Each structure stands twice: as structure tokens, then as C-alpha cells.
A = this chain, B = another copy of it.
């Protein structure tokens, strides 16, 4: 996705590019589900600028987050409250999205080549290009940071050294079970439900358009050792009915505001390929590396990591693809502004994206921390009591750096809340 956004950007600005991928458009369309990602409005605006905004926002988009925070213990009632975006987000199955954008790229004359490119091929490929951009999260290093179960053959991301200073976790904090389902009515207004089962994990329920039409993505983020972890191991292939029953039961016991919209008669996974189970160790890698050519300065090339190759985040707040698109856009802009692909270029590229992308990482890692940080709980509580607070938090899914301005420290959260309190008192004064 990051590679396509960058390729389309460069195409639009007359800069030649080649995209190397390991699947054809048809293989992408017919393959297993890749993720359950949504694009927030900042990403949609980039899609509009790239001329690939193929899905009308009023029909395919969604407009808010519905929050549910289950009771942490006896006598404590759950919280339930909405938060609204300033402009809509949109969820399109990547098996619909990627082939369409790949067609856009090739249809406009783009050079797309199918095949595996691994670390051993890099010097050869680099000789044909002025700059290499790596956008795949595959690290090719089993047991090393990255996506479990995606060792892949390429492993280009593994060439970029990890950054321990930005990696607080040595292992996944959630075990994932994401799938597409029939039989859940959309919320009203149409939105994503973020449902928290304290001690067990989160559910993201996302209105999604796939090859089957309008369906529902359920992404269970399961805390290891919690009641819902079983979802990450359940084998749909072995017994589809038992799997669907397990999911429905989990909705009923842990995520009631989604369950209340489920129709048990029609509920079920849309198909055996529409499921992704795994886990992510949040990973940040160095922004760039030097690829030595024939030993002389003239032969030197640089490779820049974008998207999953640069930062691999847990999907709990759906930021990975949006950060990837942002990085593609920033890099594309710099390529048109200063097309000299040396160390200075790499350092500038790293610096210009750092604030938003590091905020994405830090915010995501805060959201999956255990036990939850007290100031995060304070903020969630305040969101339940104040619509402006909930709306600002929700719209900040477009601006992770602003979210991190609010969440980086307990002091910052308090300041944010006291600012909202003052604003609310001003409003009340007006009423009097």
C-alpha cells in the first residue's frame, strides 16, 4: 500500500518508478485477507489527490467511533459513548483496494514487476535505480521482531536495524483474530465500535466493503492469558460452525454492544480465506541504510524504509496503513523537491516524518500497555462524560502527533482535560 501510494505520487509528478511485488493483482484479489484496516480521512484526502478515490465516502465511509468499556468488577457499570470524526473514514478490504490501485498504477504506464526481491538481490536491483524504497514488513527473520507467521522469503525489512529506544515490548502484547463476517447490522450512525473487555482485550468492529459487498470486520485483540485468547488459536478450517459459535459467544459475553446487532441465524465468517490470525511485536527500524555498490562513492545507493518496513504497530487503533500512506506522501514530496539520493536526502526524509510516525508508535504502544496507564483511563473516563473530549480524541485518529501531545505524559492529559473543562465552563456561562 505504501509502495502503491508512492508509485502513484511519483507517476503524477513525472518521476519514473518501478514497483516490485510478490503477487499479481489477481493473486492479491483471490488470496487470504491481509488485514482489517481502515483509512482515516487524512489518508482519504491523499487518495483523492492521487486520483484513486474510487469509493464514495457517503456510501462506503463511516463517521464515528462507538466506545464500550466493560465493567472491570462487581458494581462498576460499563461505559458507552460515541466520538465523531470531523470527516469520514473508510474501510475497504485490501483484496479489493490493492488490485484496483495496482491497475491504476499500471494503467497509467507504471512499471510493475512480480517476483521476490530478497536481501541478496538488492545490490543488483539497486544498480538499476537511483533510490530503493522498501515498503514490506516482512523481516525474514523468524523469532526476530516483526509479524509472526510472516517470515516470507523476501525479508527486506530485516536489513534495517531495529531501534530498541522505540521498542518497549519484546513480544506481542495481543494475539489477533481478525475476520470478515455476515450477520451484523451496522451501528447507527455507521461507525467503528471499539469495545474493551478489561483484562481480556479489545474488539474493533469495522464496517468494511469486500468482494462480498458490505460486511463486518471483527478484529479481536486478545491479551495473552485472557478469556478470549482462544480465538487466536481456533481453527476455522477444522470446524466452521464451532468457530462461528465461539465468536458469537465471545461477542455475547465480552462485547455486548456488538452482540446486540448480531443476527445468530445468519452470523458467520464470510469464507475460509477471510481470516487472519497472528501477533505483532511492535517494531521500529532505522529509517535508511546505505547499500554499497562497487565500493566507490559513485556506486553507493541508499534504501529508505516506509510503512511496515519502518514501523510495525499493533492494529489496535488502526494506524499502520495510515502512517504508511503518510510516509509515502512525505517521501514522494521530498523526491520531487530534492532529487539527490544521498545521505542528506535520507536524513531529511527521516526528520520530516519523525513527529507523526513516532507519535503513532508511542500512542499505539500506550494503548496496548498492561496494566493500562492511569492517565489513559482518566482520558477514557473524561470522554464518556464530555462529547467535545471524545470527538477530539476520535478526530485525532487522523493526527497521531496531536493525540500524543495529549497522551505523552499524565501531566499532558491533565492539561488537555483542564483546557476542555475551562471551555465547558465558558459554554455554561453563555447559557446562563
Contact = CB atoms under 8 A, between A and B. Distances in A.
Interface of A: 297, 338-340, 342, 344, 348, 351-352, 354-355, 404-405, 408-409, 411-412, 415
A92 B355 CA distance: 38
Contacts of A338: 405
7 contacts: A339-B415, A340-B412, A340-B415, A342-B408, A344-B405, A351-B351, A351-B354
Contact of A342 (B342, B351, B354, B409): B409
Given A344-B404, A348-B355, 10 more contacts: A297-B411, A340-B405, A340-B412, A342-B408, A342-B411, A344-B408, A344-B409, A344-B412, A351-B354, A352-B355
Nearest to A354: B351
B344 A351 contact: no
A425 to B, nearest CB: 18
A94 B49 CA distance: 47
Contacts of A339: 415
Contacts of A405: 338, 340, 344
Contacts of A408: 342, 344
A352 B353 CA distance: 11
Contacts of A411: 297, 340, 342
A25 to B, nearest CB: 36
Contact of A355 (B297, B351, B404): B351
A413 to B, nearest CB: 10
Nearest to A419: B339
A416 to B, nearest CB: 8
A365 to B, nearest CB: 15
Nearest to A413: B340
A340 B417 CA distance: 13
A24 to B, nearest CB: 37
A172 B415 CA distance: 46
A213 to B, nearest CB: 43
Contacts of A352: 355
A408 B352 CA distance: 18
A340 B411 CA distance: 8
A415 B342 CA distance: 12
Contacts of A348: 355
Contacts of A355: 348, 351-352
A408 B346 CA distance: 13
A137 to B, nearest CB: 25
A48 B361 CA distance: 39
A315 to B, nearest CB: 25
A339 B412 CA distance: 9
Nearest to A408: B344
